[in-house]
Amino acid sequence: MPETTPLLNVENIQVKFGKRRERKQVIDSVDLQVHAGEIVGLIGESGSGKTTIARAVLGLAHVAGGQIRVAGEEVTDFSGSQWRDFRRRGVVQYVFQDPLRSLDPDVVIGDSISEPLRIRSGLSKDEIKAAVCAQAAEVRLDEGLLDRFPAEISGGQRQRAAIARALISQPKLIILDEPVSALDAATRVQVLEMLLSLRSDSVGLLYISHDIGSVIGITDRTYVLYRGKVVEHGATRMLATTPKHLYTRLLIGSTPTLSGKALDGVQRRELRDELEALSV
């Protein structure tokens, strides 16, 4: 891990949902860093708070305590207009699980990709077109597809278009929220390969997933989130081979593999009981 100022520095954040008595702590004292040039995984089961952390980084969830710094800027206390300005600069970009819903169905792919550039203006039509084509090439999206609507291309192509749209602002941080979970095996492999090819010194990737399979394949470090808390983090490989926390052990031991499972049903049940006793 490089000893530089992290691109994303989340310190001790708290997020609570609901009002007064029904107030529920969703994120509890989470610390998380992403450095430039890194691909960092955030893994956890549904409801563990993965997406809430991402939303907090984007200013879409109210942070009740703690600090978030993005590319050196303290964003925690941004006002509405400061957020708008910050988002316009495209420092952070977000890629969602379902590109069919995150791309405007009435806008052709090329226009969706070029929108961030058009907003910031200053570029001529030809320059924008050239930038879109270059970006499409980088994510291995065929140029002929730029005139099509989202519904007219495949899921993998749509996800690549969504990633191209994120990249065109030359963001420092890209948050990928379950980017391959909705894709078939063949397209999943292509998108993962493409994501690996994006690794560069100028950008950091936060890769959110419930699926340890893809997290193992592309991340350098991983944070394990369980019921709103980071229970373990470290180099992905170490985490997978020598998990310490009960939940991580259960997670790794429950993931089906081709070479046979790591734990049998009885062992898993024991771990689960221990885990439950712990959280009571």
Partner 1 sequence: MVDLVAAEDEIAVQVHDLRIRGTFPEADLVRGVSFTLRRGGTLGIVGESGSGKTLTCAAVLGILPTQVELSSGTVEIFGANTASFGKQGWVDVRGNVISAVFQDPGSYLNPSIRLGKQINEVLRVKNGLSRKQAKEETLRLLRAVHLRDPELVYDQYVHELSGGMLQRVVIAAAIAPGPKILIADEATTALDVTVQAEVLDLLTELKERDGLSLVVVSHDLAVVAQICDEVLVMRSGEIVEYGPTAEVLHSPQDEYTKLLISEHERYGLDRIFESQELEVA
| Chain residues that interact with partner 1, rule: CB under 8 A | 45-46, 184-186, 188-189, 192, 210-214, 216-218, 237, 240-243, 249-263, 265, 267-268, 272
Taking the least distance from each CB to partner 1, the nearer of 9 and 248 is 248
Q: Which of 173, 98, 167, 103 is nearest to 136 (CA)?
A: 167
Q: Which of 18, 27, 24, 23 is nearest to 65 (CA)?
A: 27
Taking the least distance from each CB to partner 1, the nearer of 23 and 261 is 261
Taking the least distance from each CB to partner 1, the nearer of 36 and 218 is 218
Tokens of residue 260, six digits: 């046979």
Taking the least distance from each CB to partner 1, the nearer of 258 and 280 is 258
CB 42, min distance to partner 1, A: 15
The answer for residues whose C-beta is within 8 angstroms of residue 139's C-beta and 6 or more apart is 160, 161, 163, 164, 167, 194
CB 259, min distance to partner 1, A: 5
CB 139, min distance to partner 1, A: 18
CB 246, min distance to partner 1, A: 10
Yes or no: say if 182 and 96 are a contact pair by the CB < 8 Å rule: no
DSSP β-bridge partners for residue 70: 8, 73
Tokens of residue 235, six digits: 């180099």
d(C-alpha 23, C-alpha 63), whole Å? 13
Taking the least distance from each CB to partner 1, the nearer of 145 and 212 is 212
CB 193, min distance to partner 1, A: 9
Taking the least distance from each CB to partner 1, the nearer of 58 and 262 is 262
Taking the least distance from each CB to partner 1, the nearer of 124 and 241 is 241
Position of tokens 């001529």? 124
SS3 125: helix
Q: Tell me, what amino acid is at 254?
A: S
- As to burial, measured by CB atoms within 10 angstroms (0-12 exposed, 13-18 middle, 19+ buried), residue 56 is buried
CB 249, min distance to partner 1, A: 5
Taking the least distance from each CB to partner 1, the nearer of 121 and 279 is 279
Q: For 150, what's the count of Cα atoms within 13 Å in the CB-facing half-sphere?
A: 20
CB 267, min distance to partner 1, A: 5
CB 30, min distance to partner 1, A: 20
Distances (CA, A) of 89 to 7, 62, 82, 97, 188: 15, 21, 11, 23, 30
Q: Give Cα 253 distance to the centre of its chain.
A: 24
